[in-house]
């Protein structure tokens, strides 16, 4: 197993239509590969993003023949890199009328190494009046996914998952050395929480966190935060993408995961406990 390698997080600003978004994403991926990056991650909905009323919309397609997969699987093989397609809108076969928000890990031969369907859906009302109800258009996943890579296991998550530490703890206990968090965090929530949450997940699990995030203002007026991050297992930010379209890179050393977990072995120290009985507001005030 190779211990040291360069990883890259691509930061784009997706349009509604697939073609122009894929053009930009491919150019940035090629540029990242030219720096020596061997694992390149793209953001959530990197190929298409729109907001209609309170729905986050991506141009959903069936997995078979999806233009992004048709383009990026051969690209991974051409460049001999591993690619994480942060997420695509995939038409569900369940007949629910809702799509899947699905992440794809593509290996250096161009094969799909893993798929992950976003578990936690962004149904929130923000203080500034922004409303989002992802569950109206997206069916939630139910399975955590840990994928093998040449550098060690990679835990797959997407965006709003970042707020649920139990998912990351489970991935790390199962062996994850690296945690992927492709996102399209809103500017409002990003300014408040993005850096804190990504660093917390790294520190809690002693893992590298790789978090490519969209940037800029999209159709419908929704603004994404940017600031794609690469965070080491001690919580140090190795790279921050700021707010411009582009990419960031950092050299990762899988042995740093071992060292961080030896210094503060929280994964070994975690113990099962019985949760407290629910306490209603009235009871709490009495």
Question: Catalytic site residues?
Answer: 44, 118, 159
CA–CA dist 205, 182 (Å, integer) = 18
Instruction: List phi, psi (to 5°) of 196.
Output: -65, -45
149: left (phi over 0), alpha (psi -120 to 50) or beta: beta
CA–CA dist 138, 102 (Å, integer) = 10
CA–CA dist 270, 286 (Å, integer) = 33
Q: Are 69 and 35 in contact (CB under 8 A)?
A: no
Long-range contacts of 124-130 (CB under 8 A, 24+ apart): 126/186, 126/188, 126/189, 127/188, 128/188, 130/186, 130/188, 130/222
Q: Which residue has the tokens 């929130």?
A: 124
């Amino acid at each position: 197993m190779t211990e040291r390698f360069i990883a890259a997080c691509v930061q784009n600003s997706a349009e509604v239509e697939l073609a122009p978004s894929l053009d930009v994403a491919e150019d940035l991926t090629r540029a990242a590969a030219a720096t020596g990056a061997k694992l390149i991650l793209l953001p959530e909905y990197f190929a298409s993003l729109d907001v209609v009323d309170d729905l986050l919309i991506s141009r959903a397609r069936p997995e078979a023949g999806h233009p992004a997969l048709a383009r990026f699987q051969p690209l991974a093989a051409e460049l001999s890199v591993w690619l994480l397609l942060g997420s695509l809108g995939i038409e569900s076969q369940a007949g629910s009328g809702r799509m899947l928000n699905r992440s794809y890990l593509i290996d250096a031969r161009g094969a799909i190494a893993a798929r992950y369907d976003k578990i936690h859906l962004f149904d929130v009302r923000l203080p500034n009046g922004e409303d989002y109800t992802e569950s109206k258009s997206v069916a939630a996943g139910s399975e955590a996914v840990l994928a093998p890579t040449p550098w060690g296991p990679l835990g797959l998550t997407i965006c709003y998952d970042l707020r649920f530490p139990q998912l990351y703890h489970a991935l790390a206990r199962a062996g994850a050395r690296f945690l992927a968090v492709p996102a399209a965090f809103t500017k409002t929530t990003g300014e408040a929480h993005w850096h804190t949450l990504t660093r917390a997940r790294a520190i809690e699990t002693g893992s590298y966190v790789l978090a490519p995030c969209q940037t800029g203002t999209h159709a419908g007026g929704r603004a994404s935060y940017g600031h794609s991050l690469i965070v080491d297992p001690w919580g140090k930010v190795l790279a921050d993408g700021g707010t411009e379209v582009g990419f960031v890179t950092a050299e990762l050393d899988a042995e740093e995961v071992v060292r961080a977990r030896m210094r503060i072995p929280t994964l070994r120290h975690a113990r099962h406990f019985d949760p407290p009985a629910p306490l209603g507001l009235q009871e709490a005030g009495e």
